[in-house]
Structure 1
Amino acid sequence: MTGIADTQAGTQTWQLDASHSSVEFAVKHMMMTTVRGRFKSVRATLTGSEEHPEGCCVEAELDVASIDTGSPDRDAHLKGADFFDGDRFPKITFRSTRIDGSQPRAEGDRFKLVGDLTIRDTKMEVVFDCEFEGRGTDPWGGERVGFSAHTDIDRRDWGLRWNQAIETGGVLVANRVRIDLEVQFVMQANT
């Protein structure tokens, strides 16, 4: 993941606290039950200035090898060529391009985060519906902020087209995928 230079006075850099964050997905199986999974290895940086929120940027990187659905066989299939093709494309990345809506100032404020999601070397714009969950100081003096976000995507747009028809009609794996984020960032000391 590339670093982001502070380009304006007052720009702050925040690093994801992965141990207090989650990146999860949900998809229908056989059109009747929802299967959930998560990525266990995620890195992200948030940079921005309270005075110039239009310059805010989020960069994130997920390791395909860290996918966990609770089923080793399913995880291996998802990491393989039918889906993420992790040997050829080991990373999923996101880079924001803009924020729509007013700057979140109070817990519960909502906004949209727009950016480029890259899976299997295919870059597509996605829009996350976000909520500011709050800001505070932890017991060790670190400044933290939290956000929740979600979006729905069609996995076929990124080349994840594998499927099987089922006898009763429909398909084995739905094309719509819901992505849910609960993320906490820690402010980094200015150097």
Structure 2
Amino acid sequence: MKQVFTLLTIAFFSVPIFAQTSWKADPAHTQISFGVTHMGISEVEGKFDKFDGSITATKDDFSDAQYEMVIDVPSINTGVEMRDNHLRSADFFDAEKYPKMTFKSTSSKKIDDNKYAVTGDLTFHGITKPVTLEVWYRGQVKNPQNGQISSGFAISGNVKRSDYNLGSGFPEAVLSDNILLDIDTEFKKQ
């Protein structure tokens, strides 16, 4: 019996135990922005001011990271109040009916040093579709003032507004179908 207990103890301690770390988006050092071409001649940019994001990972290089983001759609901000109100209306986001936009990753594939293709479900305007975003893990630092550990990420990708029935009354000659997403963010270790 003693031998069985010893073998079980050895087997238990031989199995690698992976500690899962949790990270939370730092709103003071995160910007979620987008761009769309207007009438084929100019780029209109905007951002979302309110959001919440988290990452969980067991590996230090974030190669197995799981990403989640929740964006408050009414916080859309293009710097022009009249345009922002129009974007919140039923012509576009219908923010009263669909106040949240979410992304939840389903897989991550390494494509280069510290760069990953992260696929997940993007939901907004009542529609969920898979999208793939490019994630560049920019590194990790310890804040000398408070000891807080932060990791930086640059995330980008393209979404077709037609996939989400966004602004369907506006043809591509007025607004490009392609919307560029650009997220620069720091996540704090929890």
* Superposition TM-score, scaled by structure 1 size: 0.85
Alignment-derived partner of residue 178 in structure 2: 176
Alignment-derived partner of residue 152 in structure 1: 158
Greater C-alpha radius of gyration: 2
The offset of 1:74, in angstroms, is 0.5
Q: Higher mean Cα deviation, 139-148 or 42-51?
A: 42-51
Alignment-derived partner of residue 25 in structure 2: 16
* Structure whose residues are more often helix by fraction: 2
Kindly tell me the number of residue pairs found equivalent between the two proteins: 173
Contact 2:115/2:137 (CA < 8 Å) preserved in 1?
yes
Query: 2:45 aligned with 1:36, yes or no?
Result: yes
Residues of 2 paired with 1:162 and 1:24: CA distance?
A: 21
Please identify runs of 4+ aligned residues in structure 1 that moved more than 4 A: 51-55
Query: 2:138 aligned with 1:136, yes or no?
Result: no
The offset of 1:68, in angstroms, is 0.2
Residues of 2 paired with 1:164 and 1:113: CA distance?
A: 30
The offset of 1:51, in angstroms, is 7.0
The offset of 1:159, in angstroms, is 1.1
SS class of match (1:141): coil
Q: Give the alignment of 1:104-143 within 5 angstroms.
A: 109-138=114-143, 139-143=145-149
Identity of aligned residues (%): 28
Contact 2:63/2:116 (CA < 8 Å) preserved in 1?
no
Residues of 2 paired with 1:86 and 1:56: CA distance?
A: 30
Task: Provide structure 1 residue ranges, at least 5 long, that are not aligned to the other structure.
Answer: 1-7
Q: CA RMSD in A?
A: 1.9
- Amino acid of the residue matched to residue 30 of structure 2? S
- Amino acid of the residue matched to residue 129 of structure 2? M
CA displacement, residues 97-116 of structure 1 (integer Å, 9 cap, x when unaligned):
010116x8xxx621111110
Residues of 2 paired with 1:143 and 1:54: CA distance?
A: 18
CA displacement, residues 155-181 of structure 1 (integer Å, 9 cap, x when unaligned):
11011143446xxxx621111100001
Alignment-derived partner of residue 11 in structure 2: none
The offset of 1:54, in angstroms, is 6.1
Contact 2:63/2:110 (CA < 8 Å) preserved in 1?
no
